[in-house]
Chain A
Amino acid sequence: MQISIEGLAARHPAAAAGSTPALKPLTLAIQAGEQIAVIGPSGAGKTTLLHALACALKPAAGRLQLDGIDPWSLSVARLQKLRGRLFLAPQTPPLPPRQRVITSVLAARLPQQSLLASLRSLFYPTHIAEAEAALARFDLAGKLWDRVDRLSGGERQRVGLARALVSSARLWLVDEPLSSLDPSRVELAIDALTQSARDCGATLITTLHQVDVATRFPRVIGLRDGELQFDLPSHEVSRERLGALYAQHEHELLGAPPPGEDEPGGKQPAAMYCR
């Protein structure tokens, strides 16, 4: 999927209308099939950029075009259809506990399925082989029938990535895919991700906090405080540029993962009854 953004700014949905946007006006052009890493210290607006590209956030200013179409000019139904061709993998793997891995993976197919087919698939999973193949890429084939909450954090994150393969998306937006993987798995996961995207012919945009991994991508974008710092082929990203990008955030440059978003602990107030 080909992307072009012109002067795109975006702010968090909860932020007030007049506040400084988390992503300041930004102009970029991305060709179909490109693979890009977005790096920058925490609070740089990486996630906001991904959300804006995924049409999850309405831009506060500027223009977004996906394959030459402005998604926000489409009708609601057509926008939904377009969203079916985008895939956003949040940093915290969006897997409901107690669900089985197979169901979680197949959930990515939902936009293409009729309601009836998806009900049937809850009853007895359809497309088992496809899910199995996707998981196998991330070395998880044996976990097909396990429950999500029995997996480790890293396994869960890889299941979240395997979802991308099952969806028929043309644009993959992956937020911190390596944040809870142990170091030995990082190479494998990133190779699987880039190779899969190439095989599916999808455009891949990944935010990363591991700078060394980012250089494995052909193109690297540096963001800081919501502003574009550089947009270069990876071999031109020098130590000095990285140093400037991460000034005052050096510990992150050394590989300390940024804190993940907290899951709200679903503790409910006790309800009282008359008995």
Chain B
Amino acid sequence: MSSPNKAPALAANETYRLPPKIFDARCAACWFMLGLALLTAASFLTLDLQWTKFLSLDAAQKMGKFLGELLSPATNPAFLQKLARASLETIAMSALGTLLAAMAGLALALPASRTHAGDPARWRAVTRLVLNGLRSIPELVWAALLIISAGLGPFAGTLALAFHTTGVLGRLFAEAIENAPPGPAFALRVQGTPAGRVFLYSTFVQVLPQLLSYTLYRWENNIRAAAVLGVVGGGGLGQMLAFHMGLFHMNETSSILIAMILLVALVDFASYISRRILQK
């Protein structure tokens, strides 16, 4: 549109008062939105999504039956006892896995952190690589791998949680250690105290609250994760769920799902309370 500069008050807006063009070849946001739209479209098109099957009468019936059966959870005492044990197992797996991970994470965080400017930190890069590797493989994949050595059951699940969480906590711990105020450690170091004792008597106390809150947070996450690890054979509620769902024992499945949701709600509540206490 060519705009005659000298024709006043004809157009509603004069040229220089026009808002910038919405579509501009150089407009980064437009390209971004276009790319996003293409990515989404391509995703839907290339996946052979079976909407017809999902929206079919058959699926609706299955789903309806499924939901109907879910409304009547199994409550016979023998099953509930098993369920309670599996829930406890899940909690124990997550607690032990987190504890192991906190210890291993701390052990790895020390070489992974540069505590002061003169610290050569020779192992920093290597340790960080290891931590990243541990972290980027999800718990479930670790469980599937560890089952080969540790066999089916909660032990493999515990180890899987510990491996992944070590990566997560190790990195967070290393950052906490690096960010700790340097004063107390400096005073000890300048006195000729070896690095290990400097950490024990100054940095550790300084970062302890942070380490605890990270660990508690991860524990909370790990309880959720532990609940599903069993699906690949890692013990706990998930193993029971996979078993009963595989056999279409819907009433039992429903009880297990309820137990899972209750467990997660309980954890949410507990972490809320403990955070309140820790903040004091």
Contacts and interface: CB of A to CB of B under 8 A. Distances in A.
Contacts of A108: 191
A88 B190 CA distance: 7
Interface string A61-91: 0000000000000000001111111111110
Interface string A16-50: 00000000000000000000000000000000000
Given A118-B197, A119-B200, A271-B172, A94 B183 contact: yes
Interface string B190-220: 1111101110111101101110000001001
Given A98-B209, A266-B179, A80 B221 contact: no
Residue among B181, B188, B201 with max Cβ neighbours from chain A (10 Å): B201
A111 B186 CA distance: 14
A275 B190 contact: no
Contacts of A84: 191-193
B197 A82 contact: no
Given A88-B187, A94-B183, A94-B186, A268 B192 contact: no
A77 B192 CA distance: 9
A107 B217 contact: no
Contacts, number: 100
A115 B191 contact: no
Contacts of A266: 179-181
Residue among A81, A84, A94 with max Cβ neighbours from chain B (10 Å): A94
A80 B194 contact: yes
Interface string B163-191: 00000000010011001110111111011
A86 B188 CA distance: 11
Contacts of B198: 110
B279 to A, nearest CB: 14
B224 interface: yes
Contacts of A56: 186, 190
B191 A275 contact: no
Given A92-B183, A107-B201, A266-B181, A97 B206 contact: yes
Interface of A: 13-14, 51, 54-56, 79-90, 92, 94-99, 103, 107-108, 110-111, 113, 115, 118-119, 122, 167, 169, 263-264, 266, 268, 271, 273, 275
